[in-house]
Amino acid sequence: MNWFVDLNISDKITIISSSVTAIISIASVWIALKALQTTKNSIVEANRPYVVIAIETIDIGFYAKYLVVKNYGNTGAYIKSIKSNHDFSDKYFSNFLKDFSDKFIAPGQSFITYLDIQQNESHMQFEISYTDSNKEYKETFKLDTSLYKHHVHQTVNKSNLGDLENTLNNIFHAQSKTRL
C-alpha cells in the first residue's frame, strides 16, 4: 500500500473514483440480470397451463355434484394421466379419468362428468400429470366431499300455483342464487 501513499492527490482521486465506478457497474449488471431472470420467470408462470380438478355443484332442484377438469392457464396442456385414490370402477363414468391419457386441453376448456358421492365418502385425492411445450407438471388435489353433505336445497311449493308455476319459480330462484 506504499505506492498509494506516494501518489499525488489527483491520482488518488482518479483511482478511487475508477474503483467506485467499477463496483457500481458490476452491481448494476448483477441487478439487471436478476431483474431479467425475474421477468422471464413471471412471463413463464403467467403463460403456463394450470389444470385443476374440482367438484362443482349445480342447483337443479337438488344439488347435483360434478367432477370438473379445467385448464385455467393461458396455454394448452397435454394431459399425461389422472390418477385417483377413489374407486370409480363401479360407476358409470369409470373411464372418464382414463380417457384423458395424452389428450390436449385448451385454455379455458373444461370437461365435466356427474359425480355420485356416497354419504360415507369424505375425501378424494387426484394426481394429474400434464405438460406444455416446455415443462412437465404434476399436481395433487385433495377434495373434501363432506362440504357438500349439509347443503340445503330450498324449494317453494305455493298451493295457489300449479306445478308448472312452482317449477318455474324454483328455477328462477336457483338462477338468482348463482349471482350471489
Q: Where are the domains of the chain?
A: 2-46, 51-149
The string of pLDDT tens digits covering residues 100-139 is: 788 999 999 999 888 777 655 668 889 999 999 889 999 9
Tell me which long-range contacts 46-50 makes (C-beta under 8 A, separation of at least 24): 46/74, 47/73, 47/74, 47/75, 48/73, 48/74, 48/75, 48/132, 48/135, 48/137, 49/73, 49/74, 49/75, 49/76, 49/77, 49/105, 49/107, 49/130, 49/132, 49/137
- Domain spanning 51-149 has what CATH number? 2.60.40
The pTM score is 0.68
The string of pLDDT tens digits covering residues 42-100 is: 988 888 999 999 988 776 666 778 889 999 999 999 999 988 887 766 555 567 777 77
